[in-house]
Every structure is written in C-alpha cells, then in structure tokens.
Amino acid sequence: MAHQTSHIAALTVDLALISTADGQAPRTLKLLPAGNFSARDGRPGNVADASCSHWTLTAALAAPLVAEASRRATRYVIDYEHQTLRAADNGKPAPASGWFGSLEWRPDGLYATDVEWTAAAAAMIVAKEYRYLSPVFTYDSQGRVTGLLHVALTNNPALDELPDIGVAALSRLFPAATPSKEDNNMEELAEQLRWLLNLPVGATVDDIKAQLTKLVEKLSAGQGTAAASVNLPAMLAEQQQRIAALSANQADPARFVSVDTMRELQNQVAALSGQLAGRQVDELVVAALSDGRLLPAQEQWARELGQGNLPALQGYLDTAPKIAALSGTQTGGQAPVAANTAALDDTTLAVCHMFGNDPAAVAAAFKE
C-alpha cells in the first residue's frame, strides 16, 4: 500500500462525553468524526503551508483503516501525553494506558470497539484524572485521512496540536506511515509539473492531470499523429530556431525605409531632375538661338527633343554650324545694300547668307 502523506495531526476528544452505564472506563471510543472537521486551534487551515482548510473522513476513506486494523499483528497503543512520540527526544519511558485492535465505521465516525485499559489508567479515567483522548492520524495534501497511528490520554487540549511532528521521529516510530522513496519522488515530480504548467503550489494531482490533458490535446491538434508520438523537446527546439530566424531577418530601421517614404523620395528626385533638365535645355536652346545654331522656327522642336533626350539635343547642337547673320549684323553696322531687303524675314536672310545669295537680289526677285 503506497503512503502519500508526510502530514500527521492529533485531535482532542472529551472523555467525559463518553458515558458508561457501570461507571467504568469506556470500552468503545469514538476516535475521529465523520465528514469535514478541524482542530480547536484551527488546523489545518492555520498552518502556513497547508493546502487544505479541513480534514475529511468518509466511509470510503475509513475502509482502508478498518482493513489495516484487522491485518495488524499488534494492537494500537493508547499512551500518556503522546510520550510514544516524545520518548526519542526526552529519553523517558512511554508506558501504555490501554490497547485496542478493532476499528469500526459508524455513521458519525470511526470507533475503536475493543479497548483494554490498564488498571491505573482505568482508575484515573473514572476519577477524571485524565479528561481527554487524543488520536494521532495521517492525512494527505487534500486533508483526507489516510491512517491511524495511535491514541493518547491527555489533559492538555492544546495538544490539538502536535505542531507538525517531525518526519524523522515519525519514521522511527511508525515506518509504515512515513512517505516511501517512491512517494517522495512522486511528490517531487508533482512539484515540477506544477511549475512547468504554471499551476499554484496547492494544485492537486487531479488539477495537474487536467492541465496535462489540455496540453496533450494542443500538441496533438493538427499533427495527424497520436499524442505519444509528439516529441516535445524537438518541437520546442524547432520553435526556438524559427524565432531566431525571424529575429535575424527583421528589417533594421536604421538601414531600411518604408515603401511610402521611398516613393516620396523618388518623386522628389524626379521633380529635381526635371527642373535641372529643364534649366539645361533652356540654357542650350537660348545659347543656340543666340549664335545661330538654331533658327527661331526650330526652338519648339529643340525644347521637346531636350526634354525627352537631352544628350541627343546636345549632340545636335555640338555639330550645328553657327550662322553669322543671326549672331551679328551683316553690314558691320552700315545701312542695308538695298532698302527693299527689309521685306525679307530673318529666316530668308539667314538662308541667303548660308548659300551666298545676295539678299537684295532675292528681294528684287520676290518683287518681280
């Protein structure tokens, strides 16, 4: 039988409430009440590390205790003032005041039914020199009674009590009631699972199982595999690698800009480039008009060419001849050879000079 507790406690029962018809010490004793109960000092709820607010004993919980009593080769001892527990520390003897070997569950609690008192103890009980009975029992982290250790006669109800008797003393006296190595390992495992699942310290085994079930369902979801085939360490390692890869590929704000910002910059550059190209075209066209490389009739064409292909306009103007007639006066400041040349426009005059024709003759020819 695995023992799952490292907690023991004691209650105080008033012997005066146990009446006997013949004025003798009672042969039947109620040891523990049915249902939920607690000590007069508030235990177990007032213990700093208590995970339960009361102790519990039911018919189902009492059944193993009754069965254990029937299997015991030795009878349960009733001592004085819990000296059985204290003897290892104070070195004093621990005489018995009585013995019993049978337990019985009744609707109102757990009873010892075959109590045998020593003559000295029976006399003191009848004389009310001992007033209280204090059973010592074990319980688990949920307050459920798991075993009966022994009983004591006492006159100090504060021994309601036995402020958590040390496990070492308990192991010397009641080795069967102390936690086994397996139990300790299971409790340690439970603590680790509480930490892993982010459960409170007082979480029960059922709480841990429920949380583990939820985790298994999440791990199995979408995997198409049984829960037992999920390799949790490998899954965690893969997730860490993915996180590291995403972190490494994040855009550095110091090195990258948003798409909107880039578009705005491109528009600004395009506007500035257009302004610069426009000024360059204007400078080339004005200069070419002034030195005769462009005729006024060619200005619109030259500007359109420059806006679309500035190098092409630059190449054309680099090879175009300068027309002297358009860059200065043909008569050196003198009056025209024939007044009727005024009838010729600038373009005709330029063409005449280009091909060596006399403007006056050309004008005369037009008149004819």
- Give the per-residue pLDDT at 194: 83
Inter-residue contact 137 to 22 (CB < 8 Å): no
Distance CA 309, CA 84 (A): 113
Pairing verdict, β 116-117 and 109-112: unpaired
Distances (CA, A) of 14 to 114, 122, 160, 314, 362: 19, 15, 12, 122, 152
Mean of per-residue pLDDT scores for the chain: 76
- pLDDT (tens digit per residue) in 198-249: 888 767 888 888 888 888 777 776 555 555 566 777 777 887 888 887 777 7
Q: Which residue has the higher pLDDT, 170 or 24?
A: 24
CA distances from 135 to 99, 167, 201, 296, 336 (A): 13, 18, 29, 126, 146
* 8 Å CB contact between 327 and 292: yes
pLDDT exceeds cutoff 70 at 170: no
For tokens 């080795």, name the residue.
175
Mean pLDDT within 11-23:
63
Query: With bands split at pLDDT 50, 70 and 90, how would you rate the model's confidence at 106?
Result: very high
Using pLDDT thresholds of 50, 70 and 90, give the confidence band for residue 346.
Answer: low
Residue 341: pLDDT over 90: no
pLDDT of 165 higher than 60: no
At 143, the pLDDT band (50, 70, 90 cuts) reads confident
* CB-facing half-sphere around the CA of 56: CA atoms within 13 A: 11
